[in-house]
Amino acid sequence: MKETDLYLPIKQLLEAQGYEVKGEVRGCDVVAMRGEEAPVVIELKLSLNLNLILQAVDRISLTSKVYIAVPKNTPFLKKRKKATLKLLKMLGLGLIVVVTHYNKMKAEVTLDPGQYRPRQSRFRQERLLGEFTRRVGDPNLGGVSTDRGIMTAYKQRAIAIALLLQRQGATKASLVSATLDDPKARQTLYRDVYGWFDRVAIGIYELSPRGKEEIKKWQG
């Protein structure tokens, strides 16, 4: 397929809506006009990439009706469709996909350009701020790989508990909570997300074999 193969199905789509369509006008791949309306500009590419998006963003200085057009089976669009549509909405761009069916090509509008008004999530914001506040110090480098795990406030609490049990041996959960001045210590012992704690009696915990091994890398 060539980029020019995308042109005719898009031209047919627009002409069916009453537009007059011309190709390669002042550097724009496709320009469509209908009466006194603002022009429609469409940039064609065989793959969705940053260059295409930057090119389309540049066209917004000409009109608010800017689309990018790609084949529907473009790999990036197939893998990241939801994120791609969100990005295009934020930029005020539209999206047209060209579908091939039984050797016939057809253009379909997936997204019309418009003003983006994102809805903020109060719940997610509170979780973000809560984690920021509870985390002690700044234990992670920004941009670090997550393969080895990120130091969270929860992990910091679990490490503090493990180090305490390492020093004191089997201890009541209430005493762990009081010693660390952490009311959530009991819940952390009970949940035992990392498998570091063994309950040896009602309300009494000690380090598990796994905890003894893994806590070594968090010492001093």
The number of folded domains in the chain is: 2
Q: Give the pLDDT confidence score for residue 175 in this predicted structure.
A: 92
The answer on 98 and 173 residing in a single domain is no
pLDDT in tens, 1-45: 788 888 899 999 999 999 998 888 888 888 999 888 889 999 998
Listed in sequence order, the residues at least 6 apart from 82 whose beta carbon sits closer than 8 Å to its beta carbon are none
Residue 19 belongs to domain spanning: 3-111
Residue 139 domain flag: no
The answer on 96 and 36 residing in a single domain is yes
Place of tokens 């006008």: 25
Listed in sequence order, the residues at least 6 apart from 81 whose beta carbon sits closer than 8 Å to its beta carbon are none
The domain spanning residue 54 has which CATH number? 3.40.1350
The answer on 94 and 10 residing in a single domain is yes
Residue 137 domain flag: no
Q: Give the pLDDT confidence score for residue 139 in this predicted structure.
A: 62
pLDDT in tens, 143-168: 555 445 677 888 888 999 999 999 99
Higher pLDDT, 65 or 117: 65
Share of the chain above pLDDT 70, in %: 89
Q: Which of 56, 82, 111 is the last residue of a domain?
A: 111
Higher pLDDT, 131 or 216: 216
With the CA atoms of 153, 196, 165 and 218 taken in that order, what torsion angle do they form, in degrees rounded to the nearest 10?
-60
Q: SS3 for 44-99, per residue? A: ECCCCCHHHHHHHHHHCCCCCEEEEEEECCCHHHHHCHHHHHHHHHHHCCEEEEEE
Residue 123 domain flag: no
